[in-house]
Structure 1
Amino acid sequence: MSDLRAQALEWLAQDPDPDTRAELRAILDAGDERALAERFGTRLEFGTAGLRGELGAGPNRMNRVTVMRAAAGLAARLPRRGRVIIGFDARHGSRRFAADTAAVLGGAGLRPEVFADPVPTPVLAHFVRAHDDIVAGVMVTASHNPPRDNGYKVYWADGAQIVPPLDAEISAAIDAVGRVDELPLAADWPVHDDAGRYLDAVSSLRLGGPARDSGGDLSIVYTPLHGVGRDVLLQAFDRAGFPAPAVVPEQAEPDPDFPTVAFPNPEEPGALDLALALARARGADLVIANDPDADRCAVAVPGDGGWRTLTGDELGCLLAGHVLRHTTGDDRLVVTTIVSSSLLRSIAAAHGVRFAESLTGFKWIMKAGGPEDDGGCGGSSPHRKPGRLVFGYEEAIGYSVGDDRGVLVNDKDGIGAALAVAAMAAQARRDGRTLLDLLDDQAREHGLHATSQLSIRVDDLSLITSAMSRLRADPPVHLGGRAVERFDDLSHGVDGLPPTDGLRFRLSGGSRVVIRPSGTEPKLKCYLEVVLPVEDDIQKVRARAAADLDALRTDLSTILS
């Protein structure tokens, strides 16, 4: 008997799910060694993003055994009798995985509580932070991944996602878990069906947002992309005094199959087509989209050439300016990641506030703005800076907005960002301006910072490793016609940041390229930035920047092919 077959039979004997048992039994009966190798040749790694992967049988898939093992490993790292809140989205398996997590945690002596219905991720993250007696939170979601995927995020007591070395400690505890059919399980636990505390907090953000008398004429189209954001967002808008956005009817209800989009990510081409069509038909001022778990926010606006979707960096820098105009104090801190636009540094300097860069991912953004005490994560981040974090963003349309009290959620918050965007657009409208005008204002003041991406998807992850090794061994001296003035291998730790698998090229004129493997998908991602002074017609400068970005993409495509 092959080792893979023996592993599969052992898995089959403990799996409580009849569907994955049937899947695995069929594979065994067919003698499909390739399918066995895909499922048992490796396993999903538990890291700072928790777990995320395709649904199915085996340790390299998301399933009830994988989830129960993860819950048991988490329980081993938590104080006994600690209170843990569990949320889930509307994806296939999410409700069942949440219940399995509660059963395992309860059986281990903890006090699990589960939301009764699917909730947005920021509601769960805020709930953890808002209750002093909660020691951790679990969110079952794969965010904007394809329909076949699911995932498992862990939040610590501060309401932020875990960082090293805590992830490694939990992973080691997971490895030590025996058969899941031998775990003690709880039979019941308290259930929540209230997002009220989050709604109170988000609707009270003091960012110059209009009450009904000043924002009533702003027409907004909204899509939750078949996710779970709609009901909470509509309640938040109502409490904050905004008129209800028009919701795209074809995408209004949660649907784990995401039938109207090829990929449920508002950044993907075509994802906003239905929202844009409705906006044109209604003559709307703004399109706002959340991803399926509502932790990301995308925005489109009308312009002279038709509707335009703002990039994550454009919206991030607009929101930063808006937050800083409506907050006070020189202890304010704004944070972004090493792959996001360098414009935020200039905006922070102009407002006389503190600025920090972090590694990619909101868990690092929140640690850059956190206290020196790591909240139990075990170890401090050397790049952490003191300050009152009022805004953080990453280019992948993730934003955490705050007011003079600091940020509302210690993670991405697509609903809070949507409210801030609406307030900013309404205020610009009152001033006879648009969001595109505000972008031009920033470019004239700080220079045009144009950003773009190149993503290379692979079937074999070894191709990513070999490409990174080639670049480390023989880095280019020119990219896109610009000299490489500095090359940083981020795996060694640079500028006080923890080591990470990434490469950064600083180019002449302030431009920049960062290359890193994706943390959630089989992709090599390249982040491009071109910086140009605005001394004449801004549209001509934008055209030059677009040409420079194209030149960078061409060179990188050749180098990485």
Structure 2
Amino acid sequence: MNPEITAKAEAWLSPTFDATTQEEVKKLIANNSEDLNESFYKNLEFGTGGMRGIMGVGTNRINKYTLGKNTQGLSDYLKMSFPNETPKVAIAYDCRNNSKELAQVVADVFSANDIKVFLFSDLRPTPELSFAVKHLDCHCGIVLTASHNPPEYNGYKVYWQDGGQLVPPQDSEIVARIEELDYSAVNFSAKKEHITYIDKEVDQAFIEASLENGSFSELDKHRDDVTIVFTPLHGTSVTIIPDVLEQAGYKNVHVVEEQREPNGNFPTVKSPNPEEPEALKMAMDLAEEKNADIVIGTDPDCDRLGIAVRDNSGKLVLLNGNQTMVVMTDFLLNNYFEHNKANGTEFIGSTIVSTPMMEVLAKSYDVECKLGLTGFKWIAKMIKDHPNQHFIGGGEESFGYMVGDFVRDKDAVTATLLACEILTKAKSEGSSFYKKLQDLYVNHGFYKEDLTSLVKKGISGAEEIKKTMINLRENPLTTIIGERIVQIDDYASSKSLKVNTGSSTDIEIPKSNVLVYHTDKGSRIAARPSGTEPKIKFYISVNDTADSLEDLEQTEKRLDNKIAGIRKELGL
């Protein structure tokens, strides 16, 4: 038994913690199991998307005390940051087990600290929380969610005044304040007069903003021609997306009934993640039955979406996040320029591990493509840092997209509407969503990406991930599938190395544990430990040219072979 971990666990046997918690801790100590180590070996940390972890007792678990401590530290920081104001906070939660109860705990702690709370009366999508922060003129926002993680997880995302998630310097300053606190300092004594419950009024304001940004009036006559299958995957999107589609004018919308009801156990899927093809199987089956044009599925907190559309032969095919992103971005840019709105200040946003095709697309429209680290908080920061520029849209490979800046996080509500509008316009022109993607490949080059995630759980897993990254830095690749490595971008050291000359330049993007290799043939391999899950991720991007639609099949085969070769050499 590790004495340090035992001491941390025994501290939870004090009167600061309730009797139920103390009993659970006593069981862990008595069993002296690996669960004791996992529960107490560290404090749960803020990552890419906030704080996420397994629910249970302990410092490395999501529970009323770890979230209470977060909220107390955040309360102190808000009162310090806004000394002459009464801080206001909006709180939302998703369908996960215990989310509603934990959201109430968070609301109680804020109210106990004389902070005004707007708490959604029932579960709502994460992008609506981002919208509500600005709509209600709040200083901060919280959403209780673990996104697409397994059922045993929950989480705590923090948003700032602009509606974007925490970024430097607020994140480190708040974490420092939280770490200074003892659990006994948390004030759980709610002042109910400071808590206001919100629902329909904010819902409708969000719906109207989504319609304004994601629908196009010239398509009004054509929406009856489109058939949609939608699944919320037991999540929050069922509270908003059907209403958005109906108010936009879509009448032929079929919801997967077996997955309509919110349920934190996600009984019909192994993983409620639209990135996983299996998650959309029931929707795909229903689409065949209804002869639907498009399938859309969203994750539990409704910030990611997966899409399937019909290919040239009428077969439903799943698109990945990169493919969806470039079609959406091209549509928005084309519409913007068609209506003569451009004034030279426009930009789009993406991330360093997403498809390079976004940069190529931006260049073709003569607009800027800003790149950031993984996570939409960095795209939100781009908007905040450049108030004189106009953000059109942007996304990342992990099935997220943001239309305009009225929401400052990935938004599957408006992106769902936008996908249907793109399909509607294409169909009215005798084309298709899929054909639009093919046209982009012919016009700008065929870019194909692959993602491999290696799950490494627990203490040993974290150490294995750490060693993998050290090895990639200390023993860097020199070639891959016969292509020479010509550039290595190390975001941990903020240096970009030109291999041929040995010269390096500074990377302006904030430091992060990401390593990116570039080859002389335009291929790219990135390695990145996940900030919210026990995984290390490898992102591969390759590209080639296709002179015509007829060349696309052979081009894709060449790209698939390149990806297979890279995966083999990396041992993935």
Q: Same fold by TM-score, threshold 0.5 exceeded?
A: yes
Do the aligned partners of residues 521 and 48 (structure 1) sit closer, same or farther apart at CA in structure 2, a change above 3 Å counting? closer
Q: Displacement of 1:498 after TM fit?
A: 1.4
Q: Displacement of 1:6 after TM fit?
A: 3.6
Distance (Å, rounded) in 2 between the aligned partners of 1:17 and 1:230 = 36
Select which of 387, 390, 398 maps to 2:389. 387
What is the match of residue 430 of structure 1? 428
What is the match of residue 502 of structure 2? none
Do the aligned partners of residues 283 and 48 (structure 1) sit closer, same or farther apart at CA in structure 2, a change above 3 Å counting? closer
Distance (Å, rounded) in 1 between the aligned partners of 2:19 and 2:392 = 48
What is the match of residue 185 of structure 1? 189
Q: Displacement of 1:413 after TM fit?
A: 0.1
What is the match of residue 162 of structure 2? 158
Do the aligned partners of residues 167 and 47 (structure 1) sit closer, same or farther apart at CA in structure 2, a change above 3 Å counting? farther
Distance (Å, rounded) in 1 between the aligned partners of 2:315 and 2:20 = 48
Distance (Å, rounded) in 2 between the aligned partners of 1:18 and 1:419 = 48
What is the match of residue 324 of structure 1? 333
What is the match of residue 503 of structure 2? none
Q: How does 1:232-311 map to 2 (within 5 A)?
A: 232-303=240-311, 304=313, 306-311=315-320
Q: How does 1:271-420 map to 2 (within 5 A)?
A: 271-303=279-311, 304=313, 306-327=315-336, 328-329=341-342, 330-372=344-386, 387-402=389-404, 407-420=405-418
Q: Displacement of 1:33 after TM fit?
A: 4.7
Q: Displacement of 1:307 after TM fit?
A: 1.9
Distance (Å, rounded) in 1 between the aligned partners of 2:183 and 2:445 = 59
Do the aligned partners of residues 131 and 142 (structure 1) sit closer, same or farther apart at CA in structure 2, a change above 3 Å counting? same
Q: Displacement of 1:207 after TM fit?
A: 4.7
Do the aligned partners of residues 75 and 210 (structure 1) sit closer, same or farther apart at CA in structure 2, a change above 3 Å counting? same
What is the match of residue 498 of structure 2? none
Is contact 1:212–1:243 with CA below 8 Å preserved after alignment? no
What is the match of residue 501 of structure 2? none
What is the match of residue 511 of structure 2? 499
Distance (Å, rounded) in 2 between the aligned partners of 1:489 and 1:353 = 27
Q: Displacement of 1:209 after TM fit?
A: 5.4
Distance (Å, rounded) in 1 between the aligned partners of 2:183 and 2:150 = 30
Do the aligned partners of residues 184 and 528 (structure 1) sit closer, same or farther apart at CA in structure 2, a change above 3 Å counting? closer
Q: Displacement of 1:244 after TM fit?
A: 5.0
Do the aligned partners of residues 332 and 151 (structure 1) sit closer, same or farther apart at CA in structure 2, a change above 3 Å counting? same
Is contact 1:211–1:242 with CA below 8 Å preserved after alignment? no
Amino acid at match of 2:424: A
What is the match of residue 439 of structure 2? 441
Is the deviation greater in 424-433 or in 473-482? Answer: 473-482
Is contact 1:454–1:526 with CA below 8 Å preserved after alignment? yes
What is the match of residue 141 of structure 1? 145
Do the aligned partners of residues 32 and 372 (structure 1) sit closer, same or farther apart at CA in structure 2, a change above 3 Å counting? same
Q: Displacement of 1:181 after TM fit?
A: 7.2
What is the match of residue 377 of structure 1? none
Cα-to-partner distance string for 1:363-387 (whole Å, 9 max, x where unaligned): 11121232358xxxxxxxxxxxx62
What is the match of residue 70 of structure 2? 70
> SS of the residue aligned with 2:349?
strand
Q: Displacement of 1:5 after TM fit?
A: 3.3
> SS of the residue aligned with 1:272?
helix
Distance (Å, rounded) in 2 between the aligned partners of 1:48 and 1:394 = 13
> SS of the residue aligned with 1:432?
coil
What is the match of residue 376 of structure 1? none
What is the match of residue 538 of structure 2? 526
Alignment: residue pair count: 540
Q: Displacement of 1:69 after TM fit?
A: 0.3
1:227 maps to 2:228: no
Amino acid at match of 1:153: K
Distance (Å, rounded) in 2 between the aligned partners of 1:393 and 1:182 = 38
What is the match of residue 383 of structure 1? none
What is the match of residue 520 of structure 2? 508
Q: Displacement of 1:550 after TM fit?
A: 1.0
> SS of the residue aligned with 1:369?
helix
> SS of the residue aligned with 1:309?
strand
1:170 maps to 2:179: no
Select which of 74, 96, 99 maps to 1:94. 99
Is contact 1:477–1:484 with CA below 8 Å preserved after alignment? yes
What is the match of residue 540 of structure 1? 554
Is contact 2:351–2:374 with CA below 8 Å preserved after alignment? yes
Unaligned runs of at least 5 residues, structure 2: 495-505
Select which of 200, 224, 229 maps to 2:208. 200
Cα-to-partner distance string for 1:186-218 (whole Å, 9 max, x where unaligned): 231111122121111001226535655311110
Q: Displacement of 1:171 after TM fit?
A: 1.0
Do the aligned partners of residues 232 and 17 (structure 1) sit closer, same or farther apart at CA in structure 2, a change above 3 Å counting? farther
Do the aligned partners of residues 446 and 39 (structure 1) sit closer, same or farther apart at CA in structure 2, a change above 3 Å counting? same
What is the match of residue 379 of structure 1? none
Distance (Å, rounded) in 2 between the aligned partners of 1:236 and 1:267 = 23
Amino acid at match of 2:489: D
Distance (Å, rounded) in 1 between the aligned partners of 2:360 and 2:430 = 25
Q: Displacement of 1:231 after TM fit?
A: 2.4
Distance (Å, rounded) in 2 between the aligned partners of 1:7 and 1:475 = 40
Distance (Å, rounded) in 2 between the aligned partners of 1:516 and 1:241 = 42
Q: Displacement of 1:12 after TM fit?
A: 3.5
Distance (Å, rounded) in 2 between the aligned partners of 1:213 and 1:305 = 24
Is contact 1:91–1:147 with CA below 8 Å preserved after alignment? yes
Do the aligned partners of residues 246 and 210 (structure 1) sit closer, same or farther apart at CA in structure 2, a change above 3 Å counting? farther
Amino acid at match of 2:166: I
RMSD over aligned CA atoms reads: 1.9
Distance (Å, rounded) in 2 between the aligned partners of 1:162 and 1:182 = 22
Cα-to-partner distance string for 1:278-323 (whole Å, 9 max, x where unaligned): 0011111000111010011110012237321101000000000011
Do the aligned partners of residues 226 and 21 (structure 1) sit closer, same or farther apart at CA in structure 2, a change above 3 Å counting? farther
Amino acid at match of 1:84: V
What is the match of residue 380 of structure 1? none
Amino acid at match of 1:432: G
> SS of the residue aligned with 1:256?
coil
Amino acid at match of 2:104: A
Distance (Å, rounded) in 2 between the aligned partners of 1:182 and 1:63 = 13
Is contact 2:214–2:403 with CA below 8 Å preserved after alignment? no
Q: Displacement of 1:20 after TM fit?
A: 4.0
Q: Displacement of 1:236 after TM fit?
A: 0.9
Amino acid at match of 2:394: G
Select which of 89, 96, 99 maps to 1:84. 89
Q: Displacement of 1:185 after TM fit?
A: 2.2
Distance (Å, rounded) in 2 between the aligned partners of 1:443 and 1:277 = 29
Is contact 2:48–2:532 with CA below 8 Å preserved after alignment? no
What is the match of residue 500 of structure 2? none
Q: Displacement of 1:47 after TM fit?
A: 4.3
Is the deviation greater in 40-49 or in 56-65? Answer: 40-49
Distance (Å, rounded) in 2 between the aligned partners of 1:353 and 1:57 = 50
Is contact 1:517–1:523 with CA below 8 Å preserved after alignment? yes
Do the aligned partners of residues 472 and 305 (structure 1) sit closer, same or farther apart at CA in structure 2, a change above 3 Å counting? farther
Distance (Å, rounded) in 2 between the aligned partners of 1:109 and 1:48 = 29
